[in-house]
Amino acid sequence: MIRFSANLGFLWNDRPLPDAIRAAHAAGFAAVECHWPYETPAEEVRAALDDTGLPMLGLNTLRGNPGENGLAALAGREVEARAAIDQAIRYANAVGARAIHVMAGFSGGEEAAQTFKSNLAYATAQTERTILIEPLNRHDAPGYFLETTDQARAIIESVDAPNLKLMFDCYHVGRTEGDVMTRLTDLLPLIGHIQFASVPDRGAPDHGELNYPAIFSHIAALGWTAPLGAEFKPRTADHIFNWIKPLSSIAPA
């Protein structure tokens, strides 16, 4: 049986985070994840998680200044990047989040690559929780340092830390690289979390270019059992969960 995690950066983001957690539970999600929860006291999030029994799968490091999209690959910003990593670790510890997505930011070149790897080495040494990196597609995030899964693989292998993993978002991979099922198979040993949304509109997984029944069946056949992250933009409130029941029953291919 396929299980799903509600990404509360997009789903129920019109309400306080504790209320969004409870809404996700009521809609049948097996877990939650978020983007930047830091304005909500950690004890309130922890209470909602305890009330519902849902695990928090992950959260992001801060984006930085307005218009930025992460700090970890920005040369000369190491102090800020590591402060953001420390903040994320503290919050993750307080709410029991399993993973932290360290956001790279808008940059490029060898200096950025070395800066990113150095900050990731710092992050992985500070916690036993999973540290995630995620390639973002060039259409939605032009200029983002981390663009492809091949680039992410090279970085993960270079840093060589057991808790550094790939966040594989089927949406981003589908828009940039395609051949999502082959990439999933090839990268499985490096993957720490899987997310999804329709291509190209980033909506629910019941339409678009990607055949999600086939993809979810393939993921199940690979032996993946963790909840899959629903990081999509819903068209209506009801549409958030209409697809869950039929897609939850998909069997391995």
User: Does residue 134 have an active-site annotation?
Assistant: yes
DSSP state of 167: E
- Pairing status of strand 99-101 against strand 4-7: unpaired
Sign of CA dihedral 153, 145, 147, 253: positive
User: Does residue 44 have an active-site annotation?
Assistant: no
Determine the Cα–Cα distance for residues 56 and 6; give it in Å rounded to an integer: 10
Choosing from 134, 157, 177, 209, the catalytic residue is 134
Task: With residue 152 as reference, give the H or E element that holds it.
Answer: helix 149-159
For residues 117 and 151, the answer to whether their CB atoms sit within 8 Å is: no
Choosing from 78, 110, 128, 231, the catalytic residue is 231
Collapsed DSSP state (helix, strand, coil) of residue 196: strand
Q: Which of 152, 84, 164 is nearest to 128 (CA)?
A: 164
For residues 212 and 206, the answer to whether their CB atoms sit within 8 Å is: yes
Give catalytic residue positions. 134, 231
